[in-house]
Amino acid sequence: PTVVHTEMRSRRTRMSPEPEAIGEDAPAVVVEEAEELLGNDEAPEQSTTPVGRVYAFYERLSTTFSWRYVAIVSLVYGVNQGVGEACLFTAQKYYLFDYLKLTPARYSKVDGFANIPWQVKALYGMVSDSFSIYGLRKTPYIILASIGGIVSAASLWLARLDYQTAAALLLIANLSIASPDVMIDGTTAENSRKFPKLAADLQTLSWASLYGCAMVANLAVGELVKPSSIGARGVFGLLWLTSLAALLPACLGWLGERPATVIHEASSDRKRVFACAFATCAVSVAVGSL
């Protein structure tokens, strides 16, 4: 009984906050308080307002990837693709029917031919990864596609064309939207692998830019395409502005791409993937032309 009483007393002594008991237990208390303070510093109170959350979203991406990269993703997806698709697809219908007086059967053929760039998107990434231009695998392709978009839009706007030439220019116009989209997708995938926690934010940036701008553009283009307004050819004239929105930041290097110093030799796996992509595109074109 005496031994038990001694053990219980010793326990009360260790648990007691008396000054004599401050020894081995003191550091543990100090560390615990320090961890609580550190946790409060690392998790600052976030804004609960919608504007504050949007600001924090863009600030988070700009801090990690630079504001230039965030801007070029927003411009390519939002202006070049979102606004460009709305203008191109709407103006194309009115232009082919009202200006060129095509029959529904011939319109279907021209429309299928003009949409080939969307059916062969699987090839763009393979080509850009396999064939670099001055060591760059994304930026030059965006520049070339944007230049093609400006030329085709200006021609459809200003020149009087037959339907064969118009079909070729419409194909180039579609290419100027589809190709930069694939290049930006490639950079988004690369950055998502480097920063997995921000992968969802990058997807949100892309799709929010696309559908936000597309919604506004579709509401406006219905009025602009009317003959009493600027008409279908005038809407084509707006397309060179959307291509310019992708061209300028690409020329300024906002994508942040650096020349590749390592030359990747073609492997058997890459050849098989390229063959599968080509076969997929061939089937897509064949089905689309039916």
Tens of pLDDT, residues 64-100:
999 999 999 999 999 999 999 999 999 999 999 988 9
Q: What is the mean pLDDT of residues 234-247?
A: 92
Instruction: Describe the crossing of helices 199-224 and 163-194 by its angle, rounded to 10 degrees.
Output: 160
Task: Tell whether the model's pLDDT for residue 33 goes beyond 50.
Answer: no
Helices 163-194 and 104-114 pack at an angle, to 10 degrees, of 40
Per DSSP, 167 falls in state H
d(CA 266, CA 68): 32
Q: Is the entire prediction scored with pTM above 0.85?
A: no
Taking the C-alpha atoms of residue 274 and residue 245, their distance in angstroms, rounded to an integer, is 31
Is residue 46 classed as helix, strand or coil in its secondary structure?
Answer: coil
- CA triple 39-41-46, angle to 5 deg: 100
Phi, psi (5° rounding) for residue 229?
Answer: -100, -135
> What pLDDT, on the 0 to 100 scale, is given for residue 31?
38
H/E run at residue 248: helix 231-251
pLDDT tens, position by position, 130-160? 888 888 889 999 999 999 999 999 999 998 8
Closest CA to 80 of 220, 224, 179: 179
> What are the tokens at 88?
């191109």
Q: Can you tell me the distance from the alpha carbon of 209 to that of 201, in angstroms, rounded to the nearest whole number? A: 12
For 93-116, give one letter per residue: b (16+ CB within 10 A) or e. Answer: ebbbeebbebeeeebeebbbbbbb
Give me the percent of the chain exceeding a pLDDT of 70: 74
